[in-house]
Structure 1
């Protein structure tokens, strides 16, 4: 499988330990690092696998690590993990060619799905397969309200801000957001940003 090893880079020791245990029980080799600098000092060009990088760490951030991995380690795919996810971070992760963007709290299913995305990325480095037909624009399958929610999400607004602008409850915004993602066949904010913005080039 493309993701032979999962490299967990997180300053929280309990997160590193729990992820390493969960992944080991599912047959993955794992290696853990407390910060991005330690990972970069250890990593080798021949490494192949998935990097789970926390977005907020002392020193270099997970997004900065994403940039470095993209530049120096072509055999690695990065999944950005954060407790503070927003559209701006998702967009930067997308532009940095992240395999996925996972928001805490997450469960094993979220992480395994993200690793599967990373595996698919590594297996298809020569050419990408879009998840939706190229001729279909995001707005074509959405209701007017869903389009409004999507556009405000892409402006970086959070649920409460969107609710205030549209005169609806934050819970209703969450429902519309879930329907948008379901209709567009995406499972994360980075995929939603990727579809909305189009191919990065």
Structure 2
């Protein structure tokens, strides 16, 4: 089995059947014309042949509305790995690193579960503090490593949490951001996926069964 390992909002795309049959001109009337700039080295030397010649700004579609059905796609499989053949490390955005990569040297397919929970909803010590404040109490076996992270943090004099989050914090944030009643069943799924210990996270099949 293959683990994707890089779930984030930037790597998820969906079809828009309302736009499929538009001409290029009509499409740009909806999402705006592409904005691009030439890529150049700061030292003025020629670009490597393998590099792109331009950077294109992503399109922003403010007037998009939900369709009855959407076909979801995952993009950028560069970090994917086979189960049992995990790489030595993963290249992950700082604010989406899974806790087991911070506190241990081991990770497996269950990185996908944490990242899936984070997708709906910097400094390593700050990142962990945010996790503790938001998710749950840090596992006992990670407390020593957490103290070492705080001791080596560049955030001098800053006080970080040592206990767990109030149980309702994730709930409160969810209700602040999600107003549609039909999305309420997602809350227990997010709670089940965002557990510090991989062994405590619900499986993908369990998450689907809760929908």
Please, what TM-score do these two structures have when normalized by structure 1? Answer: 0.23
Normalising to structure 2: TM-score of the pair? 0.22
- Bigger relative contact order, structure 1 or 2, given CA contacts below 8 A and separation 6+? 2
Identify, as 1 or 2, the structure richer in strand.
1
Greater helix fraction, Structure 1 or Structure 2: 1
